[in-house]
Amino acid sequence: MIERINSILNIFDVGDLKFFFLVAKKNIKNLILLSLIVSILALFISLNQQKKYLSKGIIVIEADGNNIVDIEEVYSFESRMNRINNQMAILKSDEVLEYIVKDKKNSVQFKNLYSDNEFNLLQRILKKKENVDDIFLKKVLTDNFKVKNLPSSDVLELSFTSINPKLSQLALQLIIDSYQRYEIDSKIKITNYANQKITERLQDLVSQMDIAQKKLSNYKRENNLVDTGNVKELKIKEIQSISDRIIEAKQSYQKQQNDLLSIKVADGDIDALLAIDDLRSREEISNIKNTLNANQSNMESLSLIYTEKHPKIIQAKDQNLNLKSQLSEILDENIQQKAFELSNISNFIKLSEEELQKVTDELRVLEEKESGMLKYTRELESSRKLYETFLQRVKETNEAQNLQVSKLKTIESPNLPTSHFYPTPKKNFVLTFLISFLGIYGLLYFREMNSSVIKSPEAIDSLNIPQIGILPRVEKLKRGFHILQMFVEDGASSFSEAIRSSRAIIESKFEKNRSYMVTSSNPSEGKTTYAFNLALSLEKSSKVLFIEADIRRPSVLNGFYQFDRQILGLGEIISGSANLNDAIFKVPGTELDIITSGEKRFDMSDIVSKDQIKKFLDVLKLEYDYVIIDSPPVQPVSDTLILTQSADYNLFVIRSEETRTASFMSSIKKIQNVGAKINGIIINDLDTSKDSYYSYYYSYTPDYYTKS
């Protein structure tokens, strides 16, 4: 849960959850007192507000049951919602409210109930006396009546708010009764109007039927039509019969034509002619063929017994010649007959086609006449059906006029409220207390964040970040001394002792052969002073390299120390214009190695990545016990965010009474957002004379340092 809240706070960059509790703890008395004052004021106002009572009722307005069609269509969601919305609008309409306002009995009841209302002294003084007339009554009904549809149902929930419980019940009941009256009256009006319009329509239909009947009669007379149904059917059958004959004749014609072609190919060869099926199957040809075959068999039998010149064989041969001659003559006659039949079939087909065309034309003319007649018949039939429909509707409207009932069904009658629902003093008191508490706390918190400064270590205890150094305020430097190297120049000062304490914590808490980045929220908060003095302190017992990583501004150390050769620094190393060994210098009078920012000025994030910086620092850690990096401040530039991801430990310097809480918290969030963290905090420039908590910063005599 706490992590979830912290993640939300990270999004808005408003601080840490524990810092929230710290601000609340600091101002808890004022928060509770101010919230109680506001809540008591709200309670007083609530107790003097006019009480309001709520009467509720539940109804159902059924759908019209007439002309039921497809159930899914009638009760579709869209259709049902439109019907319900229409009924809700009618319930709140002026027409329904007019039934109440115009009723004198209702006006008297409302006046009596309004006169029974009880008002406290404040209400009697401030509230203007109302004149309960028709305008006022209608306004009250309009403003206080509510109707709501229960989801996925036809049920409507009605409610009416009033300063009198009886009045709220009465108003709601009158609205329900008025709706029923309005509904019935509307239906009667609609029924009378519909009856009138239907009667007028019936008269028009009678005239239309007379005109249609006359048109149909004239058309039949002009076209000699009585009943075209059977004539049309006979014509269709006749066309079918002629079509069948033509198809059969064409098949016969094709067969005869094929036979004549075979006869032509046979060229008088009797055997070839007899191979034609139609000739071979004819009776006279078949008889001669059989007799010829029998005589041929007889000749073959006689030739076995007698010689060729025997009278019987000669007689048989003569008979054979006669039969062949007869067969040839009969074949010729049949061939001529087939040619004649082919000509007759051709003429028959031609005549049949002409007859078919004639009958088809007659049918087409008949259909055209019938189409015209059907047009007038349909007009007459349509008018007759409409007349019957409207005649039935007249009967229905006459019956409905005598059976008009309301579709409204009351499920729950309007209740008489036993207690008021408004105001709610207890609820208002609690809510006002909570809202005012949160509101006042929010103002205090943002005031703390945006206008307050960090004065003491307690202000950041809630962050759970180790405090590895507290540097006292240096009011006045000795002549010739500089704060940048105070540890070397004035070792007996409380400032130098604070640097030693910080060094001891770092040596015990952190490992050697690591890189340490020192930063702050904004410039002039003492990060360079602390970093350089820490490096001078560590140099006494370890091999230390100090890197000035703020390559966007001129080197502080270049102006402080006079080096014996051209200064090459971190800017030249990153840009590749100098080697590492060429950029390392010794601080005069010490064994401290330093790399200044150099002459190059550019944005580090445009040249190198965090991985490249990390590899560079890994190489340095192989040679040095401590690599101290004096980085740019977090807020102005982005270089620090790269360095925080590359260094092993990140130290943050805060200047007491100058570093703003909002700026500090924002810097912490920025570092956390890139996946890095702050491993230690140093409070700089702390006025130890104002807080007994820091009484251990006593003055040491020069003898102490001489002995140590």
Does residue 530 form part of some domain? Answer: yes
Residue 25 pLDDT class (50, 70, 90 cuts): confident
Of 38-47, 168-177, 286-295, the range with the lowest mean pLDDT is: 286-295
Does residue 219 form part of some domain? Answer: no
CATH number for the domain that contains residue 687? 3.40.50.300
Task: Please give the mean pLDDT across all residues of the chain.
Answer: 78
Does residue 205 form part of some domain? Answer: no
Q: Which two tokens stand for residue 403?
A: 């059976």
Does residue 365 form part of some domain? Answer: yes
Q: Which two tokens stand for residue 233?
A: 């059917």
Of 95-99, 125-129, 299-303, the range with the lowest mean pLDDT is: 125-129
Q: Which of 365, 391, 417 is the last residue of a domain?
A: 391
Between 537 and 206, where is the model more confident? 537
Does residue 701 form part of some domain? Answer: yes
Q: Are residues 538 and 686 in the same domain?
A: yes
Does residue 338 form part of some domain? Answer: yes
Boundaries of domain holding 662: 466-472+487-707
Residue 466 phi, psi dihedral angles, 5° rounding = -60, 140
pLDDT at 456 over 60: yes
Looking at residue 389, its pLDDT comes to 74
Does residue 177 form part of some domain? Answer: no
Q: Which of 268-277, 337-346, 411-420 has the highest mean pLDDT?
A: 411-420
Total domains in the fold of the chain: 2
Looking at residue 18, its pLDDT comes to 61
Q: Which of 376, 391, 406 is the last residue of a domain?
A: 391
Instruction: Name the 3-class secondary structure at 650.
Output: strand
The model's pTM is 0.47
Residue 226 phi, psi dihedral angles, 5° rounding = -115, -60
Q: Taking a C-beta distance cutoff of 8 angstroms, is the pair 632, 549 a contact?
A: yes
Does residue 46 form part of some domain? Answer: no
Query: Residue holding tokens 């019907």?
Result: 83
Distance CA 199, CA 48 (A): 65
Q: Are residues 356 and 492 in the same domain?
A: no
Of 3-12, 41-50, 140-149, 483-492, the range with the lowest mean pLDDT is: 3-12
Between 240 and 704, where is the model more confident? 240
Looking at residue 555, its pLDDT comes to 66
Task: Pinpoint the alpha helices (H) of 102-164.
Answer: 104-115, 121-126, 134-144
Q: Is the dihedral of CA 439, 442, 447, 452 positive or negative?
A: positive
Distance CA 519, CA 640 (A): 8
pLDDT at 680 over 90: yes
Residue burial 685-708, b: 16+ Cβ < 10 Å; e: rest? bbebeeeeebeebeeeeeeeeeee
**What count of residues does the chain have?**
708
Looking at residue 462, its pLDDT comes to 66
Look up residue 432 and give its amino acid: T
pLDDT at 157 over 50: yes
Helix axes 661-673, 425-451, angle to 10 degrees: 90
Q: Which of 374, 391, 408 is the last residue of a domain?
A: 391
